[in-house]
Amino acid sequence: MASGLPSLIGSAHLQWVDQLKEGGRMLIPAGPLMEQVLYVLVKQDGKVRQRTVLPVRLVPMTGQVKDR
């Protein structure tokens, strides 16, 4: 697994990473609200590699979408 990956995504999300198939990709926003960075995780040769894509600002959902 990539160095620092558990701290990047938190232990609750490690199950998602463990489910990646060989060649699978996952995009994960990580960091404090309004200062997040988008990472791509790729599983190659049985190892998960991470790459920084770009800074992002994701905000919590509100209204009807939040209540679903």
Q: Which domain holds residue 10?
A: 5-58
Paired with 49 in beta bridges are: 42
Average pLDDT along the chain:
79
Res 1: pLDDT: 46
Q: Would you say residue 66 lies in a domain?
A: no
Q: Would you say residue 31 lies in a domain?
A: yes
Of the two residues 29 and 54, the one the predictor is more confident about is 54
Res 11: pLDDT: 57
DSSP code at position 31? S
Q: 9 — alpha (psi -120 to 50), left (phi > 0) or beta?
A: alpha
Number of structural domains the chain divides into: 1
Per-residue model confidence as pLDDT tens digits over 3-25: 556 556 555 567 777 888 999 99
* Secondary structure in 3-state letters for 1-65: CCCCHHHHHCHHHHHHHHCCCCCCEEEEEECCCCCEEEEEEEEECCEEEEEEEEEECCCCCCHHH
Q: Would you say residue 47 lies in a domain?
A: yes
Of the two residues 36 and 4, the one the predictor is more confident about is 36
